[in-house]
Structure formats: structure tokens, C-alpha cells
Structure 1
Amino acid sequence: MIRTNHARTASIFIVLITTLLSCSKKDVTLTPADTTLSALDTDASGGITVTQHAAVPASWYKLELKLIKESAGFTPPVAARAIAYTGIALHEAVVNGNRYGHSLGGQLDALPRLPAPERYKKYDWAIAANSALAAIIRQLIPNASPTNAALITQLEAANLDTLRPGVSQEVVNRSVAYGQSIAAAVYQWSATDGGKDGYLNNFPDTYVPPAGPGLWIPTPPGFQRAMLPYWGNNRLLVRNCSPLTYLPHPPYSTDSTSAFGRSAWSLYQKSKTLTPTETNIALYWADGTGTFTPPGHLIGIAVQLADEQQLNLQETAALLARVGIGLNDAGIVCWKYKYRYNLLRPVTYIRNLIEPGWNSLIGTPPFPSYTSGHATFSSAAGHILAARFGQQFTFTDQQKVPDGFTARTFTRFTDMIDEAAVSRIYGGIHYDFDSENGKISGQDVARNVLSLQL
């Protein structure tokens, strides 16, 4: 039965992607089932217009988020890393199709000059993108199940079959080879960043957390070892960035009138008085184990907006590269904070000092509290999106509709950032200063990413 269901899912997936790309020179109208990245089997109604060129990366990000959800070890920072290198490979595969475009070679830390297309030879950039994305995703998620690995091969072939009409075989071959060469070069570079095998060892037994008042200890219910304690040592993608000042949290104190104590008590009291709206916000942004993770949620929004705004292939590639780079560096910066300060989680503080047996609304992740990953990720991505579309920009996040949530509409990207950040307070797993300072460091990351020339 499991094999039958997997085969059915694979068939549905390829049918959806073939439909997505079925008009090589025209726009096609798709329902959110075709464009929302959090699932493949929604029956939500409505339609948005998707340009053919933007549909090529959209199809691959849809599949990548499915693989992240279903492949072991792709925790949020690991997922952000995969998303980042996917966007870089996409951008580099098509940047030469834009006379005003700039390669990231020489701009990102230790990224050398990448393979260049042959002069005076013709390329089909959508075919090159398809080839590069297939190759890089296959390498970045090597532990995909056999069924999902087969989807990579099937999607690559389905896209190529749709894109090749009217293109000479010589150009097809040249474009495919070029995309593969870009993916190979990007992957070779990625392997030197310190995070290549993170998905294999999220909980290293070599790490012994420091002990003392106010310091992190494993939390209920799983009491797992610390997750990715060395991730903050990974290489940032954006080099020569402006200083990221380490913002200290309020000094740890058991005094309920201290700044720290007041924050803990505020969170505890909020947990007792959550409104239905606040509860929904906490659950909407949870994106925990078994989901496409917070970075996946945010790149999903970016792909959705690229589709809705009808960005062309190069514009889509530049946007997704920027957002992906921001998510990766946000994860590294946040995890550097987490293991620099090793702050205990609210559940530990509250159970020890306020109410034994207290539980948070959502599960507490197995790593220190300060700063908030959600706040850092959403701030980095949100400010990058605001730079592209404008701060006063109304959009509707459809990514969780397949999971039974109502789509959420925002009139500013800062509203999205603030809601994602406060969701972790409503969920009972972060102090308010975790979120506020996470937003600051995420904005710093975005500023550095926006200094790149794409």
C-alpha cells in the first residue's frame, strides 16, 4: 500500500509540473494546488497567472521542499543551506541571459569564477536552469528516498520535453551541459563551508553543553541533545559584511521584578490568556518537525510572489538567490548566537520557578533560546523581499492553505516579520527579547545580502 501511494504521488506530481510547463511561449492559469509549495494535493480554488519561465524554478522549488519535508536530517539551518545553494546555482545558470546581470563568482566568500558560456554560441536559459536545478538538488539532498529521487529524474525529463520544441538539438545539448557544469562548480564550492554533512549529524555526541544558572538544558518531552551546536562556525556566504554586533540578552535572574524575570512572567501569563487569533498565529508559523521548515515557508512565499508578479526567468533567479543566501546566513548567525549565550528555554525557567509541569503550546526545539530562529529567518527574508517589491506591498501567504489554515494577508513585509517573530512567544518557546533581537540580526543579514550585485 505504501508503494502504491508513493507511486500515485509521483504520478500526480509529474502531471502537475507538466501542466505547469505545457505552454512554452504563453502564460498559463494555475490553481494554488499547482503553485503553493507546502503540499501537492490541495484542492483549494482560485487562480494566479504564472509565466512559463518562472514556472521552471517554481517546479523545482516545489519538489525541493517536498524533499526537505521527507528527507531525514533537514532541520531549519540545514534546509536553509540547501535552499541557498539551489538559488545560487539557478542564478549562475541563467545570469548570462541578462546583459545587465552580475555573476556571484568573486562576490560570495571563496566562490571562484564560474564556468562561462561559449562566446557567440546560442543557449536556451530555461533549459540550462532546468539542468542546473536537477543536478544541484540531487547533490544537496543525497538521502532522498528512492521514490523522491526518481521524481528528480522524472521532473528533469518532463521539463526538458516541454522546453525543447523549437530548439535545435545542438542548443539543447549545449544548454544542458552548461547547467550541469554550473551545478558541479557550485556544489564543489558548497562542500567547503562546514555544513555539507549537517543532515547526517544534527545531534553530535561530541558536544557537552556548559552548565550553570540560566544555561540551556535539554527540554521536555524528548530531552534531546543540543541540535547543530557547531553550525555557527560555518562559512557565511556574504563575505566582508558589515559587523553583526552580538546583542546581549537581559542578565539572567530569578527575581520576578528583573528584566529577565518580567519577560518570563509575561510569557507565562500570555500562555494563560491566548486568544483564538493568537493561538492560530502560533500554529500557523510553527513549521516544526516533518514540515518544509521556516526557511522553506519563506522561500515558498518568494516563489509565490515571483509567480504572481510575473517575474521573468532572470528576475526570478536573482530574487530566489538573494532570499536563499539570506536564509542561509541568518541560520548561521542565529546559531552562533544560540551557542555563544546558551540561554535556557522558557519551559525550564517556568517549570523551575513559576509552575511545575507547565507546557508550551508548541513543542520546544532542542537548542538554546537566544536568539529566535523564526525572527532571524523571517527578518532576513522579509527585508530582502521588501527591497524587491517595496515595503508597502500587499500580499497573501498561501503556503499553509494545504495544511488546513486560512491564507494570511499582509500589507507590509514588516507585518509578516513581526507576526512570525511573535508567533514563538505565543507558542511559549521564546522570550520577547529572543524575537526582538533576532529581528535586528536578521535585518543586518538582509543588508549584507542586498549589497551584492545581481
Structure 2
Amino acid sequence: MKKILMGVAIITVMIACDTKKVEGPIVVTPEEFHTSVDKVIEIMIHDIFSPPVASRIFAYPNIAAYEIIALHNEDYLSLEGQVTDLAAIPKPEADLPINYQVAALVAHMELSKRLIFSENRMEAFRDSLYGVWKTKNTSVFDASKTYGLKVAEHVGTWMNKDNYAQTRTMPKFTVNSDDPTRWQPTPPAYMDGIEPHWNKIRPFVIDSAQQFKPTPPPVFSMEEGSDFYRELKEVYDVGQKITEIGDESEEIKIAKFWDCNPYVSVTRGHLMFATKKITPGAHWIGITKISCRKTDSDFDKTIFAYTKTSLAIADAFISCWDEKYRSNLIRPETLINQHIDDNWKPVLQTPPFPEYTSGHSVVSGAASTALTNIFGDDFAFDDDTETAYGLPIRSFTSFNQAADEAAISRMYGGIHYRVAIEVGLEQGRNLGDFVVNHLRMTTKKEMASIQN
């Protein structure tokens, strides 16, 4: 009987020790946040979100995560009062055992789930993390999860007032086929113009969609020697030259690397289907991940970098789309087929919206400015963002060099006039400067360490 009681006692002690061993701290790594962002991108590709809508999907979850970090880490400053209409997030109840990094990732996943269609894919990823965290420390996990969901609800309420829902019910864009200067749907799918009301979305940092209104494009003219005709002829001539060389052409490699068109349609006989690609904003989010990894950024700085960059990207799309549907300029492909060569095709498939200004140029200008502000100028990196889509790594000496290449890629692709590229890049950089100069997200001490 004594042996039995002693055995029971030993087992009880072992179980108690075992339980004690399990209940430790929950450590959240930057890689887990990167994986959450990657999962969102994977789902967005599956769900085929337009580039402007994708930028919104990045911004809100990052803001929710960042505000939790800023509440806990004195090196970071809240966006309350800096981002349009954002009120302070609720503070947690006193004495709760909250892990703020767990709460930040919970908020990020919850808001991301609300913004995509394939919620079950996000839930599967979320539940896998929840399972790990819960086994490490149930009480900390429960408190952190509850708080993260509370912040997600707060940010979600603010998010739902940005006019996005209203734009879903607004009329489609009307094509004026009688006006030779106006945009017309392009082959092969001849899709309607996407997001014609995006300028009605509430901006994040800029004052209004019109704040960085660019100079108008050259006056439309098909007379040889006119500024506009020279712009058109250059697109045709560049396209002819690089397609003669073929896929070995550096220009074609650049065009394909920066394509980022989620609406590419492939025709096989009577069958038409879409190929899966990321958006231009997602490409720059990928560069943000590369930069964080290269600098061994901790969890909090990683969220800071994603948030600042995604805010610049989101406002860049609002600014660019405002101009696109104001100038409503016809694409080079349409005019070249009508007036120069009816068999000509661009290297890239023309995306379904007006030409001026170039979205890649505006977004790349804004994103590169934000990233330069975070990681410094002359920040060399290897961009492997497109390897998942069968494209090789490209190397850059700075974010600005990458932005320049992304912009000119649209000329090589045959889908933009040079003026849309150059003016668009300036538009994006001016907007990016405004964002970084008007947001105070870090203390002076922390900003100095970031720049160094």
C-alpha cells in the first residue's frame, strides 16, 4: 500500500512539474508577423483583389497591430490624431497578463480576415498559432487574444466609415467611345474600368485625393510632331525594338519582373482564365519584408515598417486613381492598333483602367520614399518577391533605384506613355515626402537608431 501511495505521489509531482514547464512566456517572432502578411497576400491573389482594394487590405490590419505596439513600447507613438479620424484604441484592463505582441498579431489576423473573401484560409492559419500559444500559457493567451480582438473591433468600426461600402453600390464607369481621347477597354478581356470611385475613399494621411494632383498630360493630338504623338510613337518604337531581341532583352525582363497585374487573362481556344499575380502594392510590401529581415528588425520595428509603408501605398492609390478617372486618357495599345499597327501587342497585358498617371510609378515613388525614411538611402537588397511566380531575383542599390526601374518597366511593357511614368513618379515621391514628414511614429531616439 505504501508503494502505491508513493507511486501516486511521484506521478502527482511529475504532472505538477510538467504543467509548470508548459506555462511559460509566449514569444512572438517577426517571422510570425511576416507569415501572417504572406498569408494575406496569398489569399488576396486567390480572391483576385484589385490593386487599390489590396492597398486598403494591407493598411488597416497593420494600423491595428501598430497601435497596440505603440501603447506598450515607448519608442513608438500612436497614430491617433495623425491619421484621419482615428481615435485612441481602448486600453486594457489593469493587471491583466497581456502579451502585447500576441495581441498585435491577433488584431492583424482578425482585421485581415474581415477584409478578404476566403476567410477559412485565414482562420486555418490563425488557429494554428492559437494552438501553439495556448499550450504555452493559457491565461496570457486568453487575455491577449481578448484585448487584440477588442482593438480590432475598434479599428474595424473606424475602417467601416471610410466610404468603401458606399463605393460598392456606385455606378460603373461609363465609356465614351465617341471621344478619341478617352479610355476604352483593352484586349483580351475588355474589362470595365475598375474602381472609378476610389478617390472617394477617405485618405489616411494626405488631406484629400486632390492634394497631389499632377500636371495634365500633353494635349491629345495625332499629328506627327506633336508632343502627344511623340509620346505614343515612343511606346511603339520601344516595343518593336525589344520584342525583336526577345525574352533575352533586359527591358523585357524588367517589364515582366514588375508586371504585378492581377487581371491577366489567358485565352486557350474558347477558354479564358486568369493567371495569379500580386499587385504593385504587394510587391512593395514584399520589399518591406526583405528589408526587415536584412536588418534583423525586431517584432515591433517590423510592424512599424509595414505600417508606415502601407499608409504611403494606400494614399498613393487614392491620389493616382483620382487623376486616372479625371484625365481619363486612352491607352497606347488602343491608339497604336487604330493608327499605327493593328497587329501590335504590348509586352504586358494592359490593365483595365485609364492611363494617366502610371499607378506603378505613383505607388513605387511613395513606397520607396517611406522605406528610405525607415532604412536609409543606399540600402542595397536582393528582391526575391517574384520568385514564386517563376521570375529571377533582381538586385538594387537603393529603394529609389528599384522605384525608377518599376516606373520605366511600364514603358517597356507597352502600357504607359513616358510622361505618365515621369510625372507619376514625381507625384508618388511628393506624396511619400508628405507622409513621412507629417507622421510622427517614433521618438527622436528611436528614429536616430533606425536611420543608423
TM-score by length of 2: 0.83
RMSD: 2.2
> Whole-Å Cα distance in 2 between the matches of residues 181 and 159 of structure 1?
18
Give 1:152 shift: 2.0
Number of aligned residue pairs: 397
Paired position in structure 2 for 1:209: 175
1:75-117, CA deviations, whole angstroms, 9 ceiling, x for partnerless residues? 1001011011121112112222211321112211111222123
Distance 2:393 2:26 in 1: 31
Contact 1:56-1:126 within 8 A present in 2 as well:
no
| 8 Å CA contact retained: 1:24, 1:163 | no
1:127-138 aligned at under 5 Å gives the runs: 127-138=102-113
The 5 Å alignment of 1:280-429 reads 280-289=253-262, 290-429=276-415
Query: Given that residues 89 and 182 in structure 1 are in contact (C-alpha distance below 8 angstroms), is that contact kept between their aligned partners in structure 2?
Result: yes
Give the structure 1 partner of residue 240 of structure 2.
272
The CA distance in 2 between the partners of 1:197 and 1:56, in whole Å, is 34
8 Å CA contact 1:345, 1:429 repeated in 2: yes
* Deviations, residues 330-386 of structure 1 (Å, cap 9, x unaligned): 111110000110000001121222112321111111111000111111111111111
The separation in 2 between residues aligned to 1:243 and 1:150, in whole angstroms, is 39
Q: Are 2:80 and 1:114 equivalent residues in the alignment?
A: no
Residue 156 (structure 1) shift: 1.8
Match of residue 261, structure 1, among 207, 212, 229 = 229
Cα gap change, 1:86 to 1:25, in 2 (>3 Å)? closer
1:185 paired residue number = 154
Shift in CA distance, 440/250, structure 1 to aligned 2, threshold 3 Å = same
1:148-187 maps to which residues of 2 (within 5 A)?
149-164=119-134, 167=137, 169-187=138-156
- Specify the code of the residue in structure 2 equivalent to 1:57: F
| Secondary structure at the counterpart of residue 337 of structure 1 | helix
CA distance in 2: counterparts of 1:374 and 1:195, whole angstroms = 22
1:123 aligns with 2:98: yes
SS at match of 1:396: strand
Cα distance change, pair 453–165 in 1 and its aligned pair in 2 (3 A): farther
Q: Check the 8 A contact 2:67/2:79 in 1, yes or no.
A: yes
Q: Distance in 2 between matches of 1:299 and 1:196?
A: 25
Residues 16-64 of structure 1 deviation map (CA, whole Å, 9 limit, x = unaligned): xxxxxxx9889xxxxxxxxxxxxxxxxxxxxxxxxx5211211110100
Q: How far is 1:122 from its partner?
A: 4.0
Indicate the structure (1 or 2) with the bigger Cα radius of gyration: 2
Between the aligned partners of 2:302 and 2:240, the Cα distance in structure 1 is: 44
CA deviation digits over 1:274-308, x for unaligned, max 9? 15111111111111122121111110111222122
- 295 and 222 in structure 1: CA distance in 2 versus 1, 3 angstrom threshold: same
Q: TM-score, normalised by structure 1?
A: 0.83
Q: Aligned partners of 1:166, 1:401: CA distance in 2, in Å? A: 35
CA contact (8 A) 2:61 2:109 kept: no
Q: Secondary structure at the match of 2:164?
A: coil
- Structure 2 unaligned regions, length at least 5: 1-23, 263-275, 442-452
TM-aligned CA deviation for residue 232 of structure 1: 1.5
Contact in 2 for aligned 1:114/1:185 (Cα 8 Å): yes
Aligned residue type for 1:159: L
**Are residues 1:92 and 2:59 paired?**
no
The question of whether the paired residues in 1 share the 8 Å contact of 2:213 and 2:319 is answered with no
Question: Which deviates more from structure 2 when the two are superposed, residues 240-249 or residues 122-131?
Answer: 240-249
Contact 1:343 1:369 in 2 (8 A): yes
Tell me if structure 2 keeps the 8 A contact 1:81–1:328: yes
State the identity as a percent. 30
Structure 1: where are the runs of 5+ without partners?
A: 1-22, 27-51
Q: Structure 2 counterpart of 1:453, which letter?
A: R
Measured after TM superposition, the shift of residue 319 of structure 1 is 0.8
Specify the alignment match of 1:237 in structure 2.
204
- Report the AA paired with residue 77 of structure 2: H
